[in-house]
A and B are shown apart, each in its own frame.
Chain A
Amino acid sequence: MANTHGSFQIKSEVVNRAKPIAAGVAILGWVGAIIAYFSNHDQFFSSYLFSYFYWISLSLGATFFVMIQRQTQAEWSVVVRRLAETVMTHFWVLAPLFIPILFGLHSLYEWTHTEVVAKDELLKGKSGYLNVTFFVIRAVIFLAIWCFLSWKLYSYSVKQDTNGDPKETKRAAWLSAPGIPLLIISASFAAIDWLMSLQPHWYSTMWGVYIFAGGGVTFMALLILICSWLRSNGILDEVITVEHYHDMGKLMFAFNVFWAYVSFSQYFLIWYANLPEETGFFIDRQVGSWLGVSLLLAIGHFIAPFIILLARGAKRHRLILPVMAGWMLFIHAVDHFWIVMPIRNPNGVAWGQLWMNIATWAALGGTCAFFFLIRLSKHSLIPVQDPFLEESMEFENA
């Protein structure tokens, strides 16, 4: 068995080639973000929130994926689990990057304006929950939960590389059992706090699961892209086989159907009940060019990927699957753009300010990618001492 330590390390020339690109994107992004802040800081904060939640949602998806694999003691996913665990650790850089949002609370959230709340019966009623102090406390709790879970799960896995102790697998499974509900509840509340309260009069009970499903599908897309990137550099190309791609493709497909199911249910119930306090969200998103974005989401996030990825051959294809994964990463950005930006630009997409979204997205994404590359080169690319490693390498779809 090719279990010798170090044979599954990433090649240093691959990391050294990718690092300057990630750093360059991050630096350009941050420069753009700073210019954006000084040119129009209201617009900047909306763009920043959009980018922030985009990258947070990917790591939420990663943590969920790792915990599900741990809890079910899945064998097939062992060879890709370390990559997922590394994406999970993005929380450690993203947590401090929440601070800029705190400076933009007044600009982002209507409920922070005391004079507006005083005149508004509904907001007055919600002020026990929606107030700045409690908001900050909650944010700290959410980020602490996510950092803790990712740190524990990551260190169990990395520790096992050196000590080979099968008990680490048990410990990870043990943590995942309470970890899954903890993650999903905290992620739902974060989605309510950070995104739903942008329109404080509006509410939807589907919101948490809708955001969570989007994170799930996009993380699977990211994982497929990372594996494809390694494969194109000749790394792990015989370890992560077409069978693993097929399964990752299936999960991406399934999460996407789940996303569509949840988002349609949300829309359908609001459409049917037709209550003024609920319909506002969708009416805002049918104004001007937002209608086009809404339709793009329905077609590009569900109908087209559903038809393209339905066939078994597409999920096993060397090109179709990564291309669709890249598309899912893009369309997820459109989804979050569509959630956040109509509040700032109610008349339609602000094309002139679109670069701010791209800059903040690149700033946070480049930072995450740079951090990812550093983490990835510090340990083996697969959990070399995992008790299920051999089963995973021999895995085949029936």
Chain B
Amino acid sequence: MAENKIYGAIAAFKSDTEILEAARKVRLAGYSKFDCHTPFPVHHLDQAMGMKRSKLPYFIICCTIAGFTLGLLLQWWTGAVDYKLVIGGKPLFALEFATPILFECSILLTAFGAVFGMLGLFNGLPTFYHPIFNAEISKRITNDRFLVSIEAKDPQFDATKTTEFLQSLHGAEEVQLVEA
């Protein structure tokens, strides 16, 4: 193992209460690059890990404004500037008839921003390979085990100290280092 690069250290737990406590302790010990892997969503795990709220909404609102602006320009440019055509005696451009299309354009780009922003920019999906699966115990995180992993990239990471620290957590088992 020594010649290979280390991804980080993991510890397995048997219950959601144990992983909540473990996540809290890992955060309080000063680690920042760590993650929890659970078979189901655990309530309050985000608070225990000290996760900040997603930045995604700011990205989405920019998409919304872009959609609104593009929709406005599209209708005004095509109808009132580039190809003037009176239809049904209506003005060449009016907010009244522009509104439904403004709404649709805003919603369209909002939805694109939300879905592709979530996938591409913020939540890391799709991930086809993850180093923690080099450990046999990780196969059970879709079944009956809760995992904490601390990455070697963490400035506080130290192979022996971090392993000892994980060992000291209540309920920790199968503490080990995993290869990258």
Contact = CB atoms under 8 A, between A and B. Distances in A.
13 contacts: A264-B99, A267-B96, A268-B96, A268-B97, A268-B99, A268-B100, A271-B96, A272-B90, A272-B96, A272-B97, A274-B89, A310-B61, A312-B57
Query: Which of B89, B96, B100 is most buried by chain A, counting CB atoms within 10 A of its CB?
Result: B96
B83 to A, nearest CB: 21
Interface string A253-296: 00000000000100110011010000000000000000000000
Contacts of B99: 264, 268
Contacts, number: 13
Contacts of B96: 267-268, 271-272
Interface string B90-133: 10000011011000000000000000000000000000000000
> Taking chain A's interface residues, is the majority helix, strand, or loop, or is none over half, making it mixed?
helix
A312 B96 CA distance: 30
A271 B94 CA distance: 11
Nearest to A311: B57
Contacts of B97: 268, 272
Interface size range of chain B in the complex: under 10
Interface string B39-60: 0000000000000000001000
Nearest to A273: B88
B85 to A, nearest CB: 17
Contacts of A310: 61
Contacts of A271: 96
B41 to A, nearest CB: 9
B43 to A, nearest CB: 8
A266 to B, nearest CB: 12
A268 B101 CA distance: 13
A274 B96 CA distance: 12
A309 to B, nearest CB: 14
B45 to A, nearest CB: 12
Contacts of A264: 99
Interface in B56-101: 57, 61, 89-90, 96-97, 99-100
Contacts of B89: 274
Nearest to B61: A310
Nearest to B64: A310
Nearest to A271: B96
A267 B100 CA distance: 12
A267 B97 CA distance: 11
Contacts of A274: 89
Given A268-B99, A271-B96, A312-B57, 6 more contacts: A267-B96, A268-B96, A268-B97, A268-B100, A272-B90, A272-B96
Nearest to B97: A272
A79 to B, nearest CB: 20
A272 B57 CA distance: 35
Interface in A26-51: none
A128 B50 CA distance: 68
A271 B57 CA distance: 35
Interface in A72-106: none
A347 B97 CA distance: 28
Nearest to A312: B57
Contacts of A267: 96
